[in-house]
Chains A and B, each alone.
Chain A
Amino acid sequence: MNGRTLTTTLVTAVLLAAASGARAGTTLNTIKERGYVKCGVSDGLPGFSYTDEKGKFSGIDVDVCRAVAAAVFGDSTKVKFTPLTAKERFTALQTGEIDVLSRNSTWTSSRDSALGLNFTGVTYYDGQGFLVNKKLGVKSAKALDGATVCVQAGTTTELNLSDYFRAGKMKYTPITYDKSDESAKALEAGRCDVLTSDQSQLYAQRIKLAKPGDYIVLPEVISKEPLGPMVRHGDDDWFDIVKWTLFVMVDAEELGINSKNVEDMKKSTNPDVKRILGVEGDKGKDFGLANDWMAVVIKQVGNYGEIFDRNVGKGSDLQIERGLNALWSQGGLQYAPPVR
């Protein structure tokens, strides 16, 4: 039994003891009484959750929290952010220190089951990729045979890298670094030809280089890292609210509703649009929320495309392509069930 299994077992054992005390169906009431949503975010990850010079939180993960607050209170500011380290994040959610965990966590089977937590959807389809200097003339990861690769030590990234090259019968020389800053410097100094990490982070690494324009992220993604928010087991009503907050934002983008035109769209004749904006039907009652909660989320936080662009996409410093995160109708994976 290695250390990790031991930890998981320990945590599970404690949780089983704690789970008996969990109160089903009351999360929403507790939050309403308290007056704000407690949301766990990252302790600093470019584009996902970070603070600006004024200490204001921004990022995709942060916007998910705001959207949940908008859904519950009709006010996206009624949220308290708790920055968590990777080690604390699950405990914080399990023990009720936070209501939602929105902290770039990869959706895996063990996290979805043994931890006593549920993933509510995918906010960002991430995956491991490669960053190379344009000078190399490499257009695809398949042409990387014999390359020297910079990689962060002791991460699953290292493992994925070895698997990928072995599967393609290619050779490579790994150079491991402890910090992402070091590996970026190594790539710049020419110590390695390629830098590998999760794609979302490669774009952040690229900004750190002196001439970001000289480097490109290769199209191949060699691992699946779907990132999403999490809630505790045992309260399906709350699970539904968080899950559908995300779905609504994706649906809104598909229907062409955004934060600017949401009021005009209320006059639309499209029944899908009418339902999502609460003009028709009572979609709020099903969730125990106000009838126009979906419209409020879109108005105050935006649709999925707006959130993506503003935090990591075209409207941000990171300039990440939509890629896998484009709508399903545009060749991506973002697909949400209909509001009906």
Chain B
Amino acid sequence: MTDAHPSRPDLPPASAIGAFGWLRRNLFSSPFNIALTGLASYLLYLTVPHVLHWALLDATWSGDSREACQANGGACWVFIRANFEQFMYGFYPEAQRWRVDTALLLLILGAAPLFVRTVPNKFKVRWGLGLLLVYPLVAFVLFKGDLFGLRAVDTSRWGGLLLTLVIAGVGMTAALPLGILLALGRRSQMPAIQTLCMTFIELWRGVPLITVLFMSSVMLPLFLPVGVNFDKLLRALIGVTLFQSAYMAEVVRGGLQAIPKGQFEAAAALGLGYWKTMALIVLPQALKLVIPGIVNTFIALFKDTSLVLIIGLFDLMNTVHNATTNPAWLGFSTEGYVFAAAVYWLFCFGMSRYSQNLEKRLHTGHKR
């Protein structure tokens, strides 16, 4: 069979279209690609069945103790189910967990208008800024309590995904404005401000986050007077925010440098002062340009929150680790870490998709 369409000479031969054509074009187009395809299939053949058997086919889904898992050879997802609440809330008192749920619900309701396309942009900006100012306070009161008749819940009891989100959320919302200010400061004409910002950025960028956390938790208390302790979570939050703001500053500075000189001159010609030039002309363009960089930093920050386990804060990662040391559930660390990885991936992938969506809407790629 040489010609698949004797009656339609205008159509390509069958071997070039359809599934067969796709395979040929993408997987078997040259001897080298054929070899690669073969190798990849072999590797998949080696791993996929094992993973499938472990994670799904031989896995245990029901039951409430380790005994339930002993019969099957696969993963013991019962471990995740039994500890799920702990993974989400940490040691947050059970009777008070509705407060965390309420805060999450408020966030979803509050942020919803920002994601609706028909809402005018001007309103979105005002609403967003208002949310940024009001929501952290509301969430703090709900989590911490001790006000309006809510029972006090010490920060040492916050844990699990809740704590991960608190650290990541505070880190992101505080590091971005701080980073913008630092970036502007570093490009400032005033030597004092420029030196100050540069020193700050280079200092914080030059040390690993793990050292910052370690200093905040182990060394700092030694320098304070005996008996004076301030909250461990607060110390970690400050550390993470300052650290990330230095990175953010450099990302934003990259965007500022990409703005042509003409834009500054045009703003000056219009009679705009420094702050108005920055706020109305330069930053909107610069920030749009560096969305990938900002989101990259956000994603790195989100994953870096797991480092707080070295200072004994029980974020998602440490809560999972802690659950694996319960003698009733010894030996299921693989399941625990797979679950933690999945949760981290879900959040990071979500952020990445949102940023792509944002870029598309703002046309920052200039359609190249």
Contact = CB atoms under 8 A, between A and B. Distances in A.
Interface of A: 11, 14-15, 18, 21-23, 43-47, 50-55, 80, 82-85, 87-88, 91-92, 94-97, 181, 184, 204, 207-209, 316-318
Interface string B64-95: 00000000000000000011011000111010
A51 B327 contact: no
A84 B222 contact: no
A256 B291 CA distance: 71
Interface in B215-232: 217-219, 221-227, 229
A96 B229 contact: yes
Among B83, B226, B309, find the residue whose CB has the most chain A CB atoms closer than 10 A.
Answer: B226
Given A50-B327, A97-B229, A55 B91 contact: yes
Contacts of A317: 327-328, 330
29 contacts: A14-B222, A15-B222, A22-B226, A43-B312, A43-B321, A43-B322, A45-B325, A50-B322, A50-B327, A51-B322, A53-B83, A54-B86, A54-B94, A55-B90, A55-B91, A82-B156, A82-B312, A83-B312, A83-B314, A85-B310, A87-B218, A87-B310, A88-B312, A95-B226, A96-B227, A97-B229, A204-B325, A204-B327, A207-B331
A184 B154 CA distance: 37
A50 B91 CA distance: 12
Interface residues of B, number: 41
Given A43-B321, A46-B325, A53-B323, 11 more contacts: A43-B312, A43-B314, A43-B322, A44-B324, A45-B325, A55-B91, A85-B309, A87-B218, A91-B218, A95-B224, A207-B330
A97 B90 CA distance: 21
A316 B327 contact: yes
A82 B312 CA distance: 8
Nearest to A19: B226
Contacts of A85: 309-312
B318 interface: yes
A52 B218 CA distance: 27
Contacts of A318: 327
B226 A44 contact: no
A55 B325 contact: no
Nearest to B222: A14
Nearest to B229: A97
B91 A53 contact: no
B223 A14 contact: yes
Contacts of B322: 43-44, 50-51, 83
Given A94-B222, A96-B227, A52 B326 contact: yes
B214 interface: yes
B214 A87 contact: yes
A225 B248 CA distance: 47
B15 interface: no
Interface of B: 82-83, 85-86, 90-92, 94, 154, 156, 159, 214, 217-219, 221-227, 229, 309-312, 314, 318, 321-328, 330-331, 333-334
B226 A21 contact: yes
Nearest to B83: A53
A52 B90 CA distance: 11
A50 B322 CA distance: 7
Given A50-B326, A52-B328, A84 B312 contact: yes
The 7 lowest CB-CB distance pairs between A and B, nearest first, are: A208-B331, A44-B325, A317-B327, A95-B221, A55-B91, A207-B330, A44-B322
B273 to A, nearest CB: 49
Nearest to A184: B331
Contacts of A82: 156, 312
B61 to A, nearest CB: 17
B93 to A, nearest CB: 8
| Of B83, B310, B311, B328, most A-chain CB atoms within 10 Å | B328
Contacts of B229: 95-97
B56 to A, nearest CB: 20
B226 A18 contact: yes
Contact of B327 (A43, A47, A91, A209): A47
Contacts of B330: 46, 204, 207-208, 317
A241 to B, nearest CB: 19
Contacts of B82: 53
A79 B159 CA distance: 19
A21 B334 CA distance: 47
Given A88-B311, A96-B229, A44 B321 contact: yes
Contacts of A94: 222
Nearest to B333: A181
Contacts of B225: 21
Contacts of B214: 87
A53 B330 CA distance: 13
Contact of B86 (A44, A53, A316): A53
A197 B83 CA distance: 28
Contacts of A181: 333-334
Contacts of A92: 221
Contacts of B312: 43, 82-85, 88
B156 to A, nearest CB: 6
